[in-house]
Amino acid sequence: MNIYKYLLFFILIAGLLAACGESEEAMSETLSYGSLSIDQDSLHFASSGGKDTINLTSDVVWFITFQSSSWCRPSIQTAKGNAKVIVTADENDSTAFRTQTFTLSAAGHDTIVITITQSSTEDEDETDYSEYITPDQTDMRELDALEFSKLMGVGWNIGNSLESITVSGGVYSGSETSWGNPSVTKQLIDSVKDAGFNAIRIPVSWSHKLDNTSTYKISTSWKKRVAEVVNYALDNDMFVIINVHWDGGWMNDPTYDSQTSINAKLDSLWKQIAIYFRDYDDRLLFAGTNEVHVADNYGTPTSENIAVQNSFNQTFVNAVRATGGRNFYRQLIVQAYNTNIENACSYLTMPDDQVENRLMAEVHFYDPYDFALQESTGYTTQWGENYIGGDVSSWGQEDWVDEAFGMMKTYFVDKGVPVILGEYGALLRTMLDTDAEAAHVAARNYYLNYITKTAKANGLVPFYWDNGVTGNNGFGLFDRSTGQKAHSDAISAIISAGN
């Protein structure tokens, strides 16, 4: 072997060692970033349009970039993990064949180009293929919102617990027990189920549990705690609603000046919540907001207030749908301005949605105020036709209940949009003399029965508001410490009306 052969030999060995080193480095990099792959990188649509699915396998955060004004769009833009991406193509009513590309990217991975093509009206026989294209339901029941709502009987709120939050100097703090209730237990939820309720609404605050206030990153431990309470109910085969509740009041400025910043935070929170709960079945529902209104102003909203509040609903729906999987088909709930029934009928515009008939509307009912909510002097203690002549409000009696819930039936239920009566109830007065208290309790039970019965008759799904306070000026039906019933008579009045 001459000197040149020796040199060539050493060069080859060095190259192989370098290649091995690069290979090991590349392998290490791939492992550190996880995997990303798809089952097909091209789709073709007939000119009639339709839907098709790309199955994405991944354990990394990935992004799909596409032209937002394009004739085709993915159901998910970004997420982490496996997903079924539903691609929707509009009808092509032109004579030109058309094509579009999506780019799928993730840190540490080569960009994947997905090519979408579509025939023109002159390329093919104009058969309508849409009836043969059924989106993958991802094991969610194929029920529209109205059909789904009929499975929900009577609901109950875990009020003043997971939404407990303290705001001081713009700083959010607090915990589940900050408003005086003990931590929610499985025993409590078991008792609620045993009492006859088959649905639970869990008001939740999130802003006091952020790891990063600039990016609105929610603490994993807080998401786990919310999930723990959700699971208490699901283990009892109950329906569950979680939301972004008052949350310190940052949404209560529905003005054009605040619209962009509020929507940005709402979008961030809901994408995180939705991704965390994405694999839950359809017994879990999401509600976007709670009682949004101009702070301390309960009067008639302006057109600006309505437009901005409706935009919050749209942001919520878009954010959840973008996370894909079961969330693409999940039942979602949007609220009327301040959850007021008259505002709902006058102003609520249901958001645009990528999937048909999976949206519900929400209102609340605490009328008449002086019977249901007023704590100071001037409140009334009785309600209904059986107590006319006694300590009864001059308005808000049975005729108003019939009218209000009838309006919701006409404007929403009859048009295929179910209605969640997310909160209702009346304060218990115990600081009365014996006879007056007995009359009050009887009238209150009659009120609870009538509201529940009339709601169900008009297609509304009622959720009683329980704040955990079982004494004077409280809504509590259960002892939060023991999980046992505190007012069996009120519970019976509600449950008997719901059957």
Determine how β-strand 199-202 pairs with β-strand 239-243: parallel
> How many helices and strands, by DSSP H and E, does the chain display?
11, 21
Co-location of 343 and 402 in the same domain = yes
**Beta carbons within 8 Å of 293's beta carbon, 6+ residues apart:** 252, 254, 301, 305, 309, 337, 338
DSSP annotation of 151: T
- Residue 252 sits in a domain whose CATH number is 3.20.20.80
Confirm whether 61 is domain-assigned.
yes
Residue 115: what pLDDT? 86
Please state the pTM of the whole predicted model: 0.77
Q: What is the identity of the amino acid at 497?
A: A
Co-location of 467 and 359 in the same domain = yes
Q: Is 280:324 a contact under the CB 8 Å cutoff?
A: no
Using the structure block, give the residue that is written with the tokens 């959700």.
Answer: 230
Co-location of 268 and 119 in the same domain = no
Co-location of 440 and 346 in the same domain = yes
Confirm whether 129 is domain-assigned.
no
CA 118 to chain centre: 35
Co-location of 44 and 192 in the same domain = no
Confirm whether 131 is domain-assigned.
no
- Residue 63 sits in a domain whose CATH number is 2.60.40.10
Co-location of 62 and 187 in the same domain = no
Co-location of 378 and 282 in the same domain = yes
Structure token digits, residue 194 = 């045993």
Co-location of 336 and 374 in the same domain = yes
Q: What are the average pLDDT values for consecutive 10-residue runs of the chain, which has 499 residues?
A: 42 40 34 68 87 89 82 89 90 79 85 86 48 60 96 98 96 97 98 98 98 95 98 98 98 98 97 95 98 96 98 97 92 98 98 96 98 95 95 97 98 98 98 96 98 98 98 98 97 94
SS3 258: helix
Co-location of 90 and 152 in the same domain = no
Structure token digits, residue 210 = 């952020």
Residue 382: what pLDDT? 98
Q: Name the residue range of residue 61's domain.
A: 36-123
Catalytic residues: 291, 423
Residue 93: what pLDDT? 80
Residue 499: what pLDDT? 76
Co-location of 106 and 157 in the same domain = no
Co-location of 224 and 359 in the same domain = yes
Structure token digits, residue 113 = 């180009």
Q: Is 249:295 a contact under the CB 8 Å cutoff?
A: yes
* Counted domains in the chain: 2
Condensed to tens digits (0 to 9), the pLDDT of residues 145-203 reads 999 999 999 999 999 999 999 999 999 999 999 999 999 999 999 999 999 999 999 99
The order of strands in the sheet holding 78-80 is 42-45, 112-118, 98-105, 61-65, 78-80
Co-location of 194 and 107 in the same domain = no
